[in-house]
Every structure is written in structure tokens, then in C-alpha cells.
Structure 1
Amino acid sequence: MLKVGINGFGRIGRIAFRIGLSKHSSEIEFAAINTSGSMPCSGWAHLVNYDTTYRKFEKEVKSEEVKAPEAVTDDDPLMGYLSVGTSKIPLLAQKDPAKIPWGKYGVDVVIESTGKFTTPEDAKKHSAGGAKVIIISAPVKGGNVGTYIIGVNDFKGETDVLSNSSCTTNCVAPVIAVLHSKFGIEKAALTTAHGYTDDQNLQDNSNKDLRRARAAAENIVPTTTGAAVSTTETIPELKGLFDGRALRVPVITGSIIDIAAVLKKDTSVEEVNQAFIEASQNQLYKGILAVSDEPLVSSDIVGRDESAIVDLSLGCPNRPFDPVFCAEKIMEPRGRGDEHKFRYSQITDQIYIGSDFCKGGVCLLHSEEFKALGVKVELNLSQEENELPPKELEVYCWLPVADGDSPSPQQFDIGSGIINDAVEAGKTVYVHCKNGHGRSPSVVAAYLIRFKGYSLADAVGLIEEKRPESHIEEIQKEALRKFAEKWSK
């Protein structure tokens, strides 16, 4: 089980804590929480239990005080505990991230959600206390730290410090990824009408940004957003081609984004809407991107799990300037808080490899062998989605992986989960296989490792025995080693 620590128990930290407890308690364990020390333990428990935006928490969180916040020291920052059911989570108050004793509590991953330690140098200070991986819950400031958005560019363990960017970026990036992959984007701009945040003022007061100095609940406040630029960190070919502005509006959460994009292909509202409908049904975007044709307003989407909800009724083509597609409205349900989404697939157990098996198994095939087998489920790991899936398919999932690259841990999880569901239902799975590339065979190997108890060597050996031309490359073997370590725990 993955042990998680939280540094910064404000909006993002508390909502991440709620989500982890309510939806992922079997996969992650909160091992320690570091707070600002501005309240005793009872105060932090109260703010978890009662939330103006997301209402009363479904679980009861209790507190146990060891010492008052002003009595903590660098050597002993423990204030007390939060208790949820049988779990007892240490609550700390240490202002220096280098002095937080993550190692003492066995923490693997730290969610850095203070909003203060957003440079690589500051975030890496958590390593001194024993943290192995640090996720910055905001756009990173300077340095060479990767930005990763679930469903767009999945983290593959390249570094021990990464950024999950902002809530708006998590909403925009999957939508831009779909538009760009289907139609190509020449340039784009966005405007977000965004709920106000706690760096604004309730009453007019001092602020270096004189617009943000004004009362948040009484004004529409024009300001900047880094969401467009952050999106191009996840889709590098759009750098310099995407920008945006923001309007902070008097709602506490539930935001909307208007995207205007010049597309490379002539298209229509119907074609663009269909692209989003198909993406919402793709396992890659499950829980990330949804669509709606209902006449919704901002309060209707508060509390929804998805990063983005595309409103199909609000798109409009800007004639006669094809291929301009403007005013694609996207509802952003998560406001400033629910940025950390942990996604896992379920465990299974049955596999067959080879074109000689055509009922209830996994076929690692070439496209010319596809139609003869009565396949109902296809996994496509090509870099580009070359053609529409056949109508006879019941499930089609595109997990794009570049030539010579490896599927990400999330793609291994998703792919093996799809195989499991199909095999249990007695359906044949077609894993799209291309000579000279080990992308698809590596997903089958992950399935063998995870569900059949194979070692990496045995899984690779079986695949190469059945399909000698399906060579799993070193980059994929290294990713599989990490995958095997994860599922052996």
C-alpha cells in the first residue's frame, strides 16, 4: 500500500485527504500530515468534517491532542492525531520542509500543497526528511520539473519531483489533447470564468494586483492564468501557440472555460462533439473527461469527479473562417482542491497468447489476423489513432505510446484491467501489435506479471516464444520492472 504524506492542510490538502479516504482507502494510506500550526488538532478535524463547498464529510474524523501548536519543536513537531475509523494519522506542525520527519512515518509520496514550496529547490527539501517522490499541487516555478496531467502525459517515474499543475490545467489539457489529436491545432486561446480563491480579499484590501485587491464576492475580477502555458508543458508541440486570460467571478467553485482554436482540418460542431463523445468512452479518459448535452449551470457540476465536462450544446463554428472552432465550453467541477486523483484497475487472472485461440482470451496479433477471430475488445497502443474502430467491437481503448517508448504505469494498469474484464466475460481481446515495437507486448507482459504471478523474465519469454517478432525493448523492460515491484508489494 502506498504511504502518502500531505504538506499543507488547506483547500487542496484537505480535499485530497477526503478523496483518498472515501475512494482509495484500499490503495493508499495517509501516513502523516504537516500543517501550518495555526490551529490545534481539533480545528483541523473540524475543517475536514465540515466544508462549505462539498458539505459534511461522509466519514467521521476525530482528533487527539498531544501538545498545543506553540509547544512543538523542530525535534518533535507532533501536535497530535486525526483518527478515521481504525486509522490514526500523525498531525505535525513544522514550517521547514527539510525538517519534516517523513521517513519516521514511512512516507513514500508527499503532496506539496502549501503553495509556498513550488520551486524545484524548495520542493526537494522534503527528500531530506525521507520523502521519495514529491508532487507539487501547483504550476512549478523555474527549474527542470515536469508537469504531468492524468490522461494527457502520464508520469513514468522520470524524477522524484513533479508538478500536477493547476485545477484549470487539469480541466483544459485533456480537452486540448483530444482536439489536437483529432484535428490538429494551429493556435488557440482560452478564457476561464473561475470561482474566487483564498488569495483574494473578502473586502477591498491591499494586494500587489490592484484588481485582486477588490472584494472577491462582489466583483468580476480580470486576471491572469497560467493554464494555457502549463497545458503546453504536457503537449510540447503547442508551445507558443496557446494562451489565455481569466475572470474571477463571485462563486465559490464550479468554473467554465471558453476555448477558441484554429484547427488544421476543416470540421463541424457535430464532428468535434463526436470526438469528445468517443474520448469520454475511452478508458484513457475514464473519470477524466465527460460530456453533457443538458442545460447545466456551475452549481450542477460541483462535486463531480471528472477533470472536465464538455458542454456539447455550446460549441459554435465561426463561419466562414473554417477551420476555426470557437466557444467550446468546458465545465470545471473541481475548483481549487480536487487535483489529486488516484486511479487503479482491478486484479484478474487468465490469459492466452496467440492467434490459435479465438474465444475468451488475449490475442497478440497483427491487423491482418484481426477480423477472423471474432474480437470484441481492442487495445490500441499506436502513437496515432489511424482509423475508426470496427463497429463490431464492444470496447475500444486507445492508449497512445510513441515508437520506442514505454506505456506508463497508468496505461499498464488500464490495459490489464480491460483485458481482465473482457476475459472474465468470455470475450477475445485484440492487442494491437506492430513489428519492431514492444509497446503492446509489454502490456501483455504486465498482465502476466500482475495476474498470473509471472516473473518479468518468464513473462517476456512466453511472449517471445509465442510471437518471436514481438521484441520487448529495454525501456519497456525497465518500466515493467517498476510495475512488477509495485504489484509485488
Structure 2
Amino acid sequence: MTVNDDSFTNWKHREETAEAMIPIIGKLHRERDVNVLLHSRSLVNKSVVSLLKAHRFARQIAGEELSVTETMPFLKALAALDLGPSQIDLGILAMSYKSDDRGLSVEEFTAEAVAGATGALKLERGEGRDVVLYGFGRIGRLVARLLIEKAGSGNGLRLRAIVVRGGGEQDLVKRASLLRRDSIHGQFQGTITVDEANSTINANGNAIKVIYANDPSEIDYTAYGIKDAILIDNTGKWRDRAGLSEHLRPGIDKVVLTAPGKGDVPNIVHGVNHDMIKPDERILSCASCTTNAIVPPLKAMADEYGVERGHVETVHSFTNDQNLLDNYHKADRRGRSAPLNMVITETGAASAVAKALPDLKAPITGSSIRVPVPDVSIAILSLRLGRETTREEVLDHLRDVSLSSPLRRQIDFTDSPDAVSSDFLGSRHASIVDAGATKVDGDNAILYLWYDNEFGYSCQVIRVVQHVSGVEYPTFPAPTA
């Protein structure tokens, strides 16, 4: 047998193993609300090739590729346990097992590592929590996709309704079509049908009522059987407490804004300050995509090295707020054609850092350039540190943070020498550290942070909603401090 034959045989064996993993992962998700991860990447509803690629990607952050033959025994061990709702990372399990010298079997080690999700300690599945989307634009449709994807057994977040302004003939069909097909993020994973008589979009079995209204005061959510719901406002029309309070009507318990909040509205970056949300807080903001991209790595650097001051320059994809061709716009420069120009503009992300990281006293400034790409941006974070360090030390620190810290769902890491913006379409992390571009000289560090300003941000929004709804499930093995 030739070397090529050996390689092909190995590939077919790994394909077969990945195929066998899919029903186990699916059953854990549907029946027990267990989300199986690999280095913070969900493996639910993934194809054979996607599973194999996720394992191969592990080499970029862990230094070596993981094989499905290594993780399959842990997955089988999980399937044999009486697990409660949780997130379980196969990558961390496999890595931890390799470094454990106690001679435990895979089954013994797995049972110990996820003990908090079994027996008397496991969470009991509740009745779920209703969610309403107010607005159905770029972020609204991606949040809808995520809510439908995460429906699991139906005991978590349940997308019950979407509120939009009437758009005329075929409005429902056209909105369903925008959910079904996306020029950037591709096809919806599943089936979508429209019930025009009942003004309902059915997506993967989720019946989503489409409510037409021009103002929150026109809606009685209880008439649709909606109760104790979390409303996600992705219109950006109201940004302060007074405006957002208009949503607090019968049937709505909390309001989450997908834009920077003004005044005393808490700006939340999941992973950094979500645990500061007061139980009785009914209105909060998920800040901006750029704030979510820079605050987690800024915290990681401040905790380890201290930060004296910083500046962030974002090279940001164009958005719907800009014009396709030159036309009137109330803001400076944004009236010029977005797909034809680089456009200097402002960013509020730097000033928003103080809300998310109040203990960080270092001044942070910022500016932004919109560029002719439809999605994925990069933040260049230039920092004066509290002590001198080296490039190798900084990269080792950020790699470790991305693997095993409480920020591992927010910070990803790549050392690919050929990485470009389109490689990060669909990233679920708030930002991705580009190791190859990182610069360190004494107490000066420059980090290049990629982020999918649409999808990555939408994932952060969902995490905040899960947290305030009480259905944010614990992750095992537990991240290190």
C-alpha cells in the first residue's frame, strides 16, 4: 500500500467516526439540552466535513490537530451519563485528559470533569422563556437564526414573535425570504414555510408570529399568548431608558438593546461584565459590535500586564446606514458611496469601554474607517502596558485565554499566516487575535483583532439574553480563572 493509500484510508476512517458522532451530538442536544463544543465551537447540526475541520482547527490554538478518534470516546462517555442542561467542551476534555497522570479511564475522567452536570447538581429543564424581536434587519435576522438553531428540546429560549412595520403586498413572504437566504451568511439551515392567513413564519417547527405595528404602544403581547418575554430591540430607534421603557408592556419582562445604550442604561459585554446585571434590571444594552470586540482582549491584557493608555482604530465593513451611491446623509461623509470609498467616521466603542470596564482607569481613544467589504472588520488595539513584556509572552497569554479562561467564548486565536477578513465570516467569537500581526516592543503592544461584526455580535447578544433569562447553561470542564 502506498503512502497516499494510507492517507486516504485514514481519512475514510475519520469520516466514518465523524458520521457516528452526529446522532450522538444531536440526541444530547434535543433530549437533554446539552451543547457539545470543541474549543468553544458548537458541534450541533454540523456536517461530517465540518466536524473534521473543527478538529483540524484545534492545531492553530492548541499546537496540534485533534482527531475524532481521540474525542469520540469522550462523546460516548457523555452519552452514557445522566446529564442536565449544559455545555461540554470535548476539546478541553481531551486536552485535560492527556495532562492527567492519575491513570483514570476515559469514562472515569469524563464523569469527574462534568460532575456538576449530573446527579443532584444538574440543572432541571424549565418551561423555557419567550423572546420577541422588535425589528427584523441584519442583526434581527441573525439573532432569529441563532434562536431557532438553539431551540434544542424547546426548554430554553423560544422565539415567539417578530414586530415590524407593514411593508405592503407580499410583506410576510419577502421577510421569510430574507430569513431563508442571506448573501453573506448563506442559506438558513432548515426549512421555512409561510402561513399568511395567520401571519406566521414556521422555521424548523418554530411558529413565529409576525406582528405589524408602528409603535410599541399599539401591541398587546398577551393576546398572542406571550408572557414574561425578553424583547430584543434591534431597530436602534430608542437608546435611552425612557424610550426603551415603552416596550415594557403586558407580556414583556425585559428589554435588550442591540446598540450602545445612552444615559444610565447598562452596556453589557458578555464574558466581561454580564455578572454585574442586577436581577431587577429590566432594560440593558449589548453595546456595539466593536465594543464587544475590543473589551474582552483589553481586559485580558489589563489583568495580566496592566494598561496605562490605549487607542483603537477600527477598519469596519460598510453598513446599511451608509449610501450605496452618493446621496444626502445627515452625518458627515456617510453620504458618499459605501462600496466605492473608504470613509473616515467616528466610533463610540472607546468611550463605551468605561461602562464595561469601570475599574480600568486608562484613557482609551478611538476612530474608525468604513471600507468596501460587506462584513467582518478588524480592530487595531494599540496599548501602553504597565510593564515590559515580549511578543512570545503576549501570544502565549492570549492563546491560553482563548483556550481555558472565562473569556474563551469571546476571544479566539489564529496563527494562520494567510488569514484574511473573509476567513472569519460566521465566527461566533467577539474577536479573533491575529498572532502573525501582533507587535510588541517593551511596554508597547499592538493587537490586531478580527471580528464578524454581524454574526459574532449576534452571538454575544444571545449570550446576554440567555444569562438574563436564566437559561445560560454552565460549561464543563469549568474554565480556569
Same fold? TM cut 0.5: yes
How much has 1:324 moved relative to structure 2? 1.5
CA distance in 2, matches of 1:331, 1:164: 19
CA distance in 1, matches of 2:158, 2:214: 23
1:54 aligned to 2:191? Answer: no
Q: Please list, as runs of the form range in 1=range in 2, the aligned pairs for 1:172-211 lying within 5 A after superposition.
A: 172-211=294-333
8 Å CA contact 1:9, 1:113 repeated in 2: yes
Query: Residue 477 of structure 2: SS of its match in structure 1?
Result: helix
CA distance in 1, matches of 2:141, 2:469: 26
CA-to-partner distance for each residue in 1:24-76, whole Å, 9 max, x for gaps?
Answer: 4442111111012225111110000011110111122221223xxxxxxxxxx
How much has 1:267 moved relative to structure 2? 0.9
CA distance in 1, matches of 2:333, 2:341: 9
Tell me the TM-score normalized by structure 2: 0.67
8 Å CA contact 1:202, 1:215 repeated in 2: yes
CA distance in 2, matches of 1:291, 1:134: 32
How much has 1:283 moved relative to structure 2? 4.8
8 Å CA contact 1:222, 1:248 repeated in 2: yes
CA distance in 2, matches of 1:340, 1:98: 28
1:118 aligned to 2:118? Answer: no
The aligned residue for residue 94 of structure 1 is 213
Query: Residue 186 of structure 1: SS of its match in structure 2?
Result: strand
Change in CA separation of 1:264 and 1:240 when aligned onto 2, cut-off 3 Å: closer
How much has 1:103 moved relative to structure 2? 3.4
8 Å CA contact 2:230, 2:469 repeated in 1: no
The aligned residue for residue 35 of structure 2 is none
The aligned residue for residue 323 of structure 1 is 443
CA distance in 1, matches of 2:215, 2:209: 17
The aligned residue for residue 106 of structure 1 is 227
Q: Please list, as runs of the form range in 1=range in 2, the aligned pairs for 1:308-387 lying within 5 A after superposition.
A: 308-318=431-441, 322-326=442-446, 328-335=447-454, 338-343=458-463
8 Å CA contact 2:288, 2:349 repeated in 1: yes
Change in CA separation of 1:2 and 1:84 when aligned onto 2, cut-off 3 Å: same
How much has 1:149 moved relative to structure 2? 0.8
The aligned residue for residue 98 of structure 2 is none
8 Å CA contact 1:65, 1:80 repeated in 2: yes
CA distance in 1, matches of 2:281, 2:320: 31
Query: Residue 237 of structure 1: SS of its match in structure 2?
Result: coil
8 Å CA contact 1:284, 1:414 repeated in 2: no
Tell me the TM-score normalized by structure 1: 0.66
| Greater Rg over alpha carbons, structure | 1
8 Å CA contact 2:428, 2:459 repeated in 1: no
Paired positions, count: 342
Query: Residue 303 of structure 2: SS of its match in structure 1?
Result: helix
CA-to-partner distance for each residue in 1:417-467, whole Å, 9 max, x for gaps?
Answer: 436x9xxxxxxxxx99xxxxxxxxxxxxxxxxxxxxxxxxxxxxxxxxxxx
Change in CA separation of 1:187 and 1:411 when aligned onto 2, cut-off 3 Å: farther
The aligned residue for residue 418 of structure 1 is 477
8 Å CA contact 1:31, 1:107 repeated in 2: no
The one-letter code matched in structure 1 to 2:182 is D
CA distance in 2, matches of 1:206, 1:293: 43
How much has 1:412 moved relative to structure 2? 8.7
Change in CA separation of 1:411 and 1:90 when aligned onto 2, cut-off 3 Å: closer
1:213 aligned to 2:335? Answer: yes
1:228 aligned to 2:350? Answer: yes
The runs of at least 4 aligned residues of structure 1 exceeding 4 Å deviation read 407-413
The aligned residue for residue 160 of structure 2 is 31
CA distance in 2, matches of 1:167, 1:6: 18
Q: Please list, as runs of the form range in 1=range in 2, the aligned pairs for 1:460-471 lying within 5 A after superposition.
A: none
Query: Residue 238 of structure 1: SS of its match in structure 2?
Result: coil
CA distance in 2, matches of 1:410, 1:183: 34
How much has 1:410 moved relative to structure 2? 8.6
Query: Residue 30 of structure 1: SS of its match in structure 2?
Result: strand
Instruction: Give the alignment partner of residue 261 of structure 1, picking from 363, 367, 383.
Output: 383
How much has 1:286 moved relative to structure 2? 3.0
Structure 2 segments unaligned to the other structure (5+ residues): 1-127
Query: Residue 128 of structure 1: SS of its match in structure 2?
Result: coil
How much has 1:126 moved relative to structure 2? 1.0
CA distance in 2, matches of 1:236, 1:410: 25
CA distance in 2, matches of 1:408, 1:45: 28
The aligned residue for residue 19 of structure 1 is 146
Change in CA separation of 1:408 and 1:80 when aligned onto 2, cut-off 3 Å: closer
Change in CA separation of 1:80 and 1:239 when aligned onto 2, cut-off 3 Å: farther
CA distance in 2, matches of 1:283, 1:116: 36
Does 1 or 2 have the higher relative contact order (CA < 8 Å, sep 6+)? 2
CA-to-partner distance for each residue in 1:116-149, whole Å, 9 max, x for gaps?
Answer: 011111111111243111101000122x111111
The one-letter code matched in structure 1 to 2:178 is L
The one-letter code matched in structure 1 to 2:314 is T
The aligned residue for residue 147 of structure 1 is 267
Instruction: Give the alignment partner of residue 45 of structure 1, picking from 151, 176, 193.
Output: 176
Query: Residue 132 of structure 1: SS of its match in structure 2?
Result: strand
Task: Give the share of equivalent positions with the same residue, in percent.
Answer: 27
Change in CA separation of 1:200 and 1:227 when aligned onto 2, cut-off 3 Å: same
How much has 1:112 moved relative to structure 2? 0.7
The one-letter code matched in structure 2 to 1:418 is P
8 Å CA contact 2:318, 2:375 repeated in 1: yes
Change in CA separation of 1:230 and 1:339 when aligned onto 2, cut-off 3 Å: farther
The one-letter code matched in structure 2 to 1:13 is G
Q: Please list, as runs of the form range in 1=range in 2, the aligned pairs for 1:215-294 lying within 5 A after superposition.
A: 215-238=337-360, 241-294=363-416
How much has 1:408 moved relative to structure 2? 9.6
CA distance in 2, matches of 1:125, 1:273: 46
